[in-house]
A and B are shown apart, each in its own frame.
Chain A
Amino acid sequence: MSQFILRYGGSSSMPEDHLESIRTIPGLKVIDQSPKMLLVGGGDESVLREKLKDMPDWSIHTEMAYSLPDTRPKIS
């Protein structure tokens, strides 16, 4: 399973019962977190998505990479 980011869109802090429910997904690991987000990996993606259907304030996003724009031509 790829790494996903779960973002909480509610106005309060992330509800403890929601966090508990996410953490109990078999094989899922919380790799990092911030006040509004969880970076998770492992576990079954379909189980995670199914669980989030009952938690409308959460959105799920794929982890992506950004780079710094460079003007230097490179030798291949």
Chain B
Amino acid sequence: MPSKKTQYIVVPASGLVAAEDNPQQMQFFQSLHQTFSSRTKVHRMSTHTGLLPVKVLDSIGENKAKLIECHPEDLPALRGSHPSVRILPVVYYQRAVIGHQVEARPRAAAVRVAAKAAAKPSAISITILASDTGKPVAGATVDAFTDFASQAGAHGTTNARGQVALALGGSSKKIERLYVSPLSGYWPALVENITLKAGTTVPLQAIDLTFVDCVRAFYGGDDLTFGQGVTVGVIDCGVALNHAGLVVQGGQNTVTGEKPGAFGDNGTDGHGTHVAGIIASRGTPPSGIRGVAPGVSLRSYRVFGEGAQQSSNFAIAKAIDAAVTDKCDLINMSLGGGDPDSLTADALTAAHNAGIVVFAANGNGNRQAVSFPAANSMCQAVSAMGRLGTFPKDTEPIEFVAAPFGKDKKNFIASFSNVGPETDLTGPGVGVISTIPKGFGVMSGTSMATPAETGAAARLLATKADILKMPRDQNRASAMISAIADACKLLGFGATFEGKGIISV
């Protein structure tokens, strides 16, 4: 059943007035203006899925902003078919009234419990082993939740003997959920309702690089020329420059105080290397893994400092500008969160006007609204989906299985994925095998779904020489977005979950 109609503002992709040197855009605004003056005020907008009715409620002028009303689920088709305009939600402001709340005093019993908890509890030592060889797994992060809802429990990292001492108190403890996240080489594990005691062992399944994970299920094929002629910039925490499966053509570190040439991995969890591998890894199973578009020219723009978990918008805008200067065709941004930021928005508009398409992650807020910058209309916002049968049982990805399921009941939208009308695409992002600085690892997230779609777009655009040859301006970006929209296939989740669907190449 269609959802309630919502009001949106339509403005040009850049600025607030339709450009005179863009007759197509000008004609579009003029025709909406004429509709506003008509009796019905209903405009049938052309999209790649057919004509969609849109009510024009107001118009500032012939070539200026329009207030429209349409169904939220129609937005992806409208945005995909009219990339030279922005369709923005109407924002309502209210007075900034400061409220006052009285905080209840903590009860004495609660204070006693807190004081007791402050004393160091005794530890239970468990061992993490490889399921096939029985060898200890060192460097794995273990999180044992006694109460998952209140995030109570203990955590630690395994030593060279695969052992970790968990400060849980007592000689045995019932654990609601036990997560084990290995550094590399194994699938992350999730064990539910287990009682831990000294000597408990937890097996981890080794990664088999011939395994068909969700990315390979949708984007198989081993042609090393896939994506050739397309330059992709990865804005992230750097890409391991010495990984045998990756060829990084160049890039820049845009972090204040760090060397511009240091665009390799920043020493955290290898997120940027994993993202880059999903797009462009050139390895061959069983010793390596093949990305979605191994033929692309890959560039790394590092915006997270050495060991840092956060990046500034200055570094991100600088990286977007650098990708424009370096003539990237596509940019991947598997990052986000927080309030909309005018600086990054300006840089994204500049990238669009320079003929670049930016893909950004919807965010992992468990069905919250799409994060910024993905929510910015200059970005292709990507949600994450998974597919049953593309991860081993008793591994962490099982917890991300959730409704809605697609027309093919094996497909689902990952439980962690943010969703909303800004969603443009969905991509495989549950239990993804890819490169990490010390080998290969499995990660899940909209961070993984985004490069899968960036890679798919590169595969597609590599076959569209006429578009790639266009002058680097907003018409080129619009042509690329239209080509992507035409190649999308709906999987049956609904528009707010999947936008135009998955890029089918």
Residue interface bits B281-325, CB-to-A below 8 A is 1, else 0: 000000000000000000000011000011111101110011001
Q: Which residues of B contact A5 (CB under 8 A)?
A: 313-314, 317, 343
A69 and B335 contact, Cβ closer than 8 Å, known pairs A74-B151, A75-B154: yes
Q: Which residues of A contact B179 (CB under 8 A)?
A: 72-73
A34/B318 in contact, CB under 8 A: yes
Q: Which residues of B contact A72 (CB under 8 A)?
A: 143, 179, 181
Set A59, A67, A70, A75: member contacting B311, Cβ < 8 A? A67
Which residue of A is nearest B153, CB measured? A75
A66 and B145 contact, Cβ closer than 8 Å, known pairs A7-B343, A61-B342: no
**B256 near A: Cβ within 8 Å?**
yes
**B271 near A: Cβ within 8 Å?**
yes
A65/B444 in contact, CB under 8 A: no
Interface residues on A, range: 20 to 34
Q: Which residues of B contact A70 (CB under 8 A)?
A: 364, 445
Set A32, A36, A63, A75: member contacting B313, Cβ < 8 A? A63
A66 vs chain B, min Cβ distance (A) = 5
A66/B343 in contact, CB under 8 A: no
A29 vs chain B, min Cβ distance (A) = 12
**Interface residue total, chain B, C-beta cutoff 8 A:** 54
A39/B256 in contact, CB under 8 A: yes
**B83 near A: Cβ within 8 Å?**
no
Interface residues of B in 425-470 (CB under 8 A from A): 444-447
A69 and B151 contact, Cβ closer than 8 Å, known pairs A32-B314, A37-B318, A39-B256: no
User: How distant is the Cα of A53 from the Cα of B430 in the complex, in angstroms?
Assistant: 49
A61 and B343 contact, Cβ closer than 8 Å, known pairs A36-B321, A67-B337, A69-B445: yes
A68/B313 in contact, CB under 8 A: no
**B381 near A: Cβ within 8 Å?**
no
**A35 near B: Cβ within 8 Å?**
yes
Q: Which residues of A contact B445 (CB under 8 A)?
A: 69-71
**A31 near B: Cβ within 8 Å?**
yes
Q: Which residues of A contact B257 (CB under 8 A)?
A: 32
A75/B152 in contact, CB under 8 A: yes
User: How distant is the Cα of A70 from the Cα of B179 in the complex, in angstroms?
Assistant: 14
A66/B154 in contact, CB under 8 A: no
**A residues lining the B interface (CB < 8 Å):** 5, 7, 9, 31-32, 34-37, 39, 59, 61, 63-76
Q: Which 4 A-B pairs have the closest CB atoms?
A: A61-B343, A32-B256, A69-B364, A76-B151
A sample of 28 inter-chain contacts (CB < 8 A) reads: A5-B313, A34-B254, A34-B321, A35-B321, A36-B321, A37-B314, A37-B321, A39-B314, A59-B343, A63-B313, A65-B310, A65-B313, A66-B336, A66-B338, A67-B309, A67-B337, A68-B334, A69-B364, A69-B447, A70-B364, A71-B400, A71-B445, A72-B143, A73-B177, A74-B151, A75-B144, A75-B152, A75-B155
